[in-house]
C-alpha cells in the first residue's frame, strides 16, 4: 500500500515537473519567438530604464523606439518614431501616428522636447507631429517646438499650425495664457541640408542624404553625445550612406 502511494506520489511529482517545464518553455517561446512577446519584453525593459533603471547621474544617449510600424495598420504599434534623450533634453526623429501616445504612456519627458527631426515627408513619419507639439506644450515646454527636415517641411509645419489654430485658441481660452502661452503652441520649421544641423549642449546631429526613391530629398541622421552615437536611417534601401554615417 505504502509502495503504491510512493509510486503515485512519484508520478505526481514527475507530472508536475513536466507541466512546469512545458509552461516555462512555452513562456520562453512566447516571449522570444512572437511579436507580442517581444513587444512585452521591450516594453518592460524600456519601462525599467525610463523609470529610473539607470543611475540618476547617467549622462549619455538613451534611445527609445516610440513607433516601429509603417503606413499599414499594425496592432499595438505606433508609426515610425525614435526618441533620443541627451542630458536634460529630448529629441525626436520622425513622429508617426500614435507615437506621441506611446511616448506619454512610457513617461518620456515631453516638456524637455527641443526639436523633431524629420527624415522625409511620408505620412507615417509626420502624422504625429502635432500631437507631440500639443503634449509638450501642455507639459510646460519653455520654447516653441522646432521641426527640422528636408525642403517641404515648412509647408508641413505651416499646415499643422493652420489646421490646429482653432484648437489652440480653445485651449488657451480654457486654461489661460499663463498656463498655455499662445506663442509656445506654434511650431517653427527649419529646412536643413546635409551636414551638421544641430550643436547643442554637447549634442551634435548630422544629416546625410539617403536613397529612398522617389522620395527626394530623404535624410538619415547621426547623433553624437559624450563619445556615444546612434544612427537613424529613415526608410532607406541603400546601405552605403548608412555604413559611412555609422
Minimum CB distance to Zn ion, residue 65 (Å): 17
Minimum CB distance to Zn ion, residue 200 (Å): 27
Question: What is the CB neighbour count within 10 angstroms for residue 7?
Answer: 10
Minimum CB distance to Zn ion, residue 215 (Å): 6
Minimum CB distance to Zn ion, residue 151 (Å): 16
Give the DSSP letter of residue 144. P
Question: Which alpha helices (H) appear in the chain, and where do they start and end?
Answer: 2-33, 35-48, 99-105, 123-126, 129-138, 153-163, 165-175, 240-245
Size of the site for Zn ion (CB under 5 A): 2
CA atoms within 13 A on the CB side of 159: 9
CB of 62 or CB of 125, closer to Zn ion? 125
Cell numbers for 99: 507615437
Region from 106-114, 143-151, 196-204, 233-241 binding Zn ion, contact rule CB under 5 A = 233-241
Question: What is the CB neighbour count within 10 angstroms for residue 242?
Answer: 18
The answer to the question of residue 94 lying near Zn ion (CB under 5 A) is no
The answer to the question of residue 235 lying near Zn ion (CB under 5 A) is yes
Minimum CB distance to Zn ion, residue 145 (Å): 22
The residue from 124, 167, 200, 224 that is catalytic is 124
Cell numbers for 28: 520562453
Region from 15-23, 160-168, 171-179, 232-240 binding Zn ion, contact rule CB under 5 A = 232-240
The answer to the question of residue 97 lying near Zn ion (CB under 5 A) is no
> % helix / strand / coil in the chain, to the nearest 5?
45, 25, 35
3-state secondary structure 30-61: HHHHCHHHHHHHHHHHHHHHHHHHCCCCCCCC
What are the φ/ψ torsions at residue 45 (nearest 5 degrees)? -65, -45
- Tell which positions 106-125 bind Zn ion, by CB under 5 A: 122
- Tell which positions 38-57 bind Zn ion, by CB under 5 A: none
Q: Can 200 be counted among the known catalytic residues?
A: no
Binding stretches for Zn ion (CB under 5 A):
122, 235
Report the catalytic residues: 124
Amino acid at each position: 500500500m505504502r509502495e503504491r502511494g510512493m509510486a503515485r506520489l512519484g508520478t505526481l511529482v514527475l507530472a508536475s515537473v513536466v507541466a512546469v517545464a512545458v509552461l516555462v518553455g512555452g513562456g520562453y517561446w512566447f516571449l522570444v519567438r512572437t511579436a507580442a512577446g517581444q513587444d512585452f519584453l521591450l516594453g518592460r525593459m524600456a519601462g525599467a530604464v525610463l523609470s529610473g533603471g539607470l543611475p540618476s547621474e547617467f549622462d549619455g544617449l538613451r534611445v527609445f523606439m516610440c513607433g516601429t510600424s509603417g503606413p499599414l495598420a499594425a496592432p499595438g504599434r505606433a508609426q515610425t518614431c525614435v526618441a533620443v534623450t541627451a542630458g536634460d533634453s529630448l529629441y525626436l526623429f520622425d513622429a508617426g501616428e500614435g507615437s506621441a501616445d506611446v511616448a506619454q504612456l512610457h513617461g518620456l519627458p515631453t516638456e524637455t522636447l527641443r526639436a523633431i527631426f524629420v527624415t522625409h515627408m511620408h505620412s507615417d513619419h509626420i502624422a504625429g507631429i502635432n500631437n507631440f507639439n500639443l503634449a509638450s506644450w501642455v507639459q510646460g515646454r519653455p520654447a516653441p517646438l522646432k521641426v527640422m527636415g528636408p525642403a517641404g517641411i515648412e509647408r508641413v509645419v505651416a499646415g499643422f499650425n493652420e489646421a490646429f489654430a482653432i484648437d489652440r485658441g480653445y485651449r488657451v481660452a480654457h486654461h489661460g495664457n499663463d498656463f498655455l502661452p499662445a506663442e509656445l503652441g506654434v511650431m517653427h520649421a527649419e529646412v536643413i541640408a546635409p551636414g551638421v544641423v544641430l550643436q547643442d549642449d554637447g549634442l551634435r546631429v548630422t544629416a546625410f542624404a539617403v536613397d529612398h526613391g522617389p522620395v527626394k530629398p530623404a535624410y538619415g541622421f547621426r547623433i553624437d553625445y559624450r563619445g556615444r552615437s546612434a544612427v537613424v536611417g529613415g526608410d532607406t534601401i541603400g546601405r552605403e550612406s548608412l555604413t559611412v554615417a555609422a
